[in-house]
Amino acid sequence: MKLDVSLLRSPGERALPRDLLVRDSPPAHRPRERFAIRVRTADDVERLRALDLPLFLLRDEDVTMLGYPMRFPPILVAARTIEPALRSDLRVLTFASEEAARNPRLEDIVVAMLQFDPLAARALLERNRDLLDLRRLTKRVYQEDLEQVAASVRFHDALDIPATGDAPPRESIARLIRANSPRGVLP
C-alpha cells in the first residue's frame, strides 16, 4: 500500500508558480490536475513558504550561529504529509508536525539536527539551554519518535526522557562537544 498525497487547487485560487509546482500525471479517471513540489534552490524554499507550505531549509549557518560550527549542504525539512509530493535533489528530513515545519522554533532545529547529526543536537542543547523550552523540546522528541536517538547522546541528562543501556558515558560526550567549540566571531 502506498500513501498518495496531492495538492489540489480550486479554480478561484491565484495562479501557481509553474517552475515550483510541476504538473504531475493524473491518475486514471481523475479530472483534477495534480502537482508535485519541485525544490532546487533556497529561493524555491522561500517562495514555497510564502504559499504556506510546511517546509523550511536548515543551513549550516543556522547551526553555526547557535554555537556548533559545522559545514553541510542545505537540508530541506518538510512535513511528512507533503513528502510524497516533493521532488528535490536536496537531502530531505521529515517532521510529523506540520506546524513545526511551517514555523520552526529553536527546539525544532534541535530535533532536525537530532535526525541529521545527534552529537551536534546534543551540543546545541548544551550551548543554548537557556534559550530552549525544555518541555517543548521533550514533547517534540516524543512526537518525532526520536527517544532512542536522543538517549544515545544523553539527552536524558537535560530532558525527561528515559535512559537506555547503550548511552555512552557523560565524559566522552562532553569531550567530543568540547572538541568542536566555537572560536572567533560567529557569523
In a domain, 26, yes or no: yes
Q: In whole angstroms, what is the distance from residue 162 CA to residue 139 CA?
A: 13
Predicted confidence (pLDDT) at residue 95 exceeds the cutoff of 70: yes
Number of domains within the chain: 1
Question: The pTM is what?
Answer: 0.75
Q: How many helices (H) and strands (E) does the chain have?
A: 8, 6
Residues in contact with 108: Cβ distance below 8 Å, sequence separation at least 6, in sequence order? 77, 95, 100, 101, 140
Query: What is the rounded average pLDDT of the residues 8-24?
Result: 70
Instruction: Please state, rounded to an integer, the average pLDDT across all residues of the chain.
Output: 82
Q: In whole angstroms, what is the distance from residue 74 CA to residue 135 CA?
A: 28
pLDDT computed for residue 153 by the predictor: 84
pLDDT computed for residue 163 by the predictor: 73
In a domain, 13, yes or no: no
Predicted confidence (pLDDT) at residue 114 exceeds the cutoff of 50: yes
Structural domain containing residue 48: 21-179
In a domain, 2, yes or no: no
Predicted confidence (pLDDT) at residue 35 exceeds the cutoff of 90: no
In a domain, 132, yes or no: yes
In a domain, 187, yes or no: no
In a domain, 29, yes or no: yes
Give the three cell numbers for residue 120. 551536534
In a domain, 186, yes or no: no
Q: In whole angstroms, what is the distance from residue 28 CA to residue 8 CA?
A: 16
In a domain, 12, yes or no: no
